[in-house]
Amino acid sequence: MMPLPPQVTLVEVGPRDGLQNEAAAIDTAAKIALIEALAEAGHTRIEAGAFVSPKWVPQMADAEAVFAGIRRKAGVRYSALVPNIAGLERAIKAGVTEVAVFASASETFSRRNINKSIADSLAGYAEVATAALAAGLRVRGYVSTAFGCPFEGDVDPARVIEVTEALFAMGVEEVAVSDTIGVAHPGQVHALLRALAATVPLRAVALHFHDTRGTALVNVYAALEEGIVTFDCSAGGLGGCPYAPGAAGNVATEDLLFMLDGLGITTGVDRARVSAASRTLEPQLGHPLPSRLLQAESARR
């Protein structure tokens, strides 16, 4: 076990993962205001949207308008998901400088989410990554269902390692190993990261935990002990994938900051300002924000 790192980087995925699964239509102006407020709160990496098929995910259909509307703050990286070359072309036209491709470690989820086998998706992503890098963009990769699949159950860690290696081989600079449905436990996190460390640089691995079973924070702690220094999180704890039944939101940025601040681990992100940003969404959502920290604060009021 390593000593905990003094500093970590947060990747705020609330404007994408958080909003892609909401039943209520969130207007573009509210998305822009959220992204700007999250940047003001100190986030340096924000996933601001997805250039996916609007038929598949209507909540992300306004990605062009979101990117056109945000005032970009110096020092902040704004990224977007792209599933194919058509998505990359849309992103480049919208002035996006960082994209993410999203593969899966389980066949059924891959087909449900992007209508492709894992092998076909990786072949397509290699083309996307090559074109994106040639255009001067930064590229991130995701490996979904790394700890379990909503359709197949257990996922073989060897599959996760294979897909992670394939993403690095196509030139992505970081891979977000993702617990899509929130089934991971810390023992699994230690084991998978130790196995990955044999062939993959862990400094280039991010962890993306959904918090369905309340294990996301302890999973982050386990990952910190293995030397991981980049974590995805979502303002208010919103999130979920429309093609992953039963998945709850990502670990809430507020809850994660409560733990990291308490441990003395620097992030540069201000918890009160993130909370205020999340709260502005509440009237449009039609349900309480999932963050336990925000719910505890509401109960005290």
Q: Which residue is nearest to Mg ion (CB)?
A: 17
Closer CB to Mg ion, 92 or 176, in the complex? 176
Q: How many Cα atoms sit within 13 Å of 131 on the Cβ side?
A: 19
Residue 101 phi, psi dihedral angles, 5° rounding? -100, 150
Quick note: the x/- pattern for ligand HMG over 234-273, rule CB under 6 A, is -------x-x------------------------------
Residue 34 to residue 28: CA distance in whole angstroms: 10
Residue 37 phi, psi dihedral angles, 5° rounding? -65, -35
22 binds Mg ion (CB under 5 A): no
Site size with ligand HMG, rule: CB under 6 A: 28
Closer CB to ligand HMG, 231 or 243, in the complex? 243
**Strand 77-81 relative to strand 9-12, pairing:** unpaired
Closer CB to ligand HMG, 86 or 296, in the complex? 86
Catalytic site includes residue 233? no
Using an 8 Å Cβ cutoff, are 239 and 47 in contact?
no
Question: Which residues are registered as beta bridge partners of 138?
Answer: 98
3-class DSSP state of 62 = coil
Closer CB to ligand HMG, 84 or 253, in the complex? 84
Q: Helices in the chain by DSSP H: which ranges?
A: 19-20, 28-40, 63-69, 85-93, 107-114, 118-134, 157-169, 186-196, 216-225, 253-263, 271-279, 282-285, 292-300
Smallest gap from Cβ 299 to Mg ion, in A, equals: 27
Smallest gap from Cβ 218 to ligand HMG, in A, equals: 18
Closer CB to ligand HMG, 57 or 260, in the complex? 57
105 binds ligand HMG (CB under 6 A): no
47 binds Mg ion (CB under 5 A): no
17 binds Mg ion (CB under 5 A): yes
Residue 116 to residue 3: CA distance in whole angstroms: 41
Using an 8 Å Cβ cutoff, are 88 and 129 in contact?
no
Interacting residue ranges for Mg ion, rule: CB under 5 A: 17
Footprint of ligand HMG on this chain (CB under 6 A)? 17, 20, 50-57, 81, 83-84, 86-87, 90, 102, 113-115, 142, 144, 178, 180, 208, 210, 241, 243
List active site positions.
241
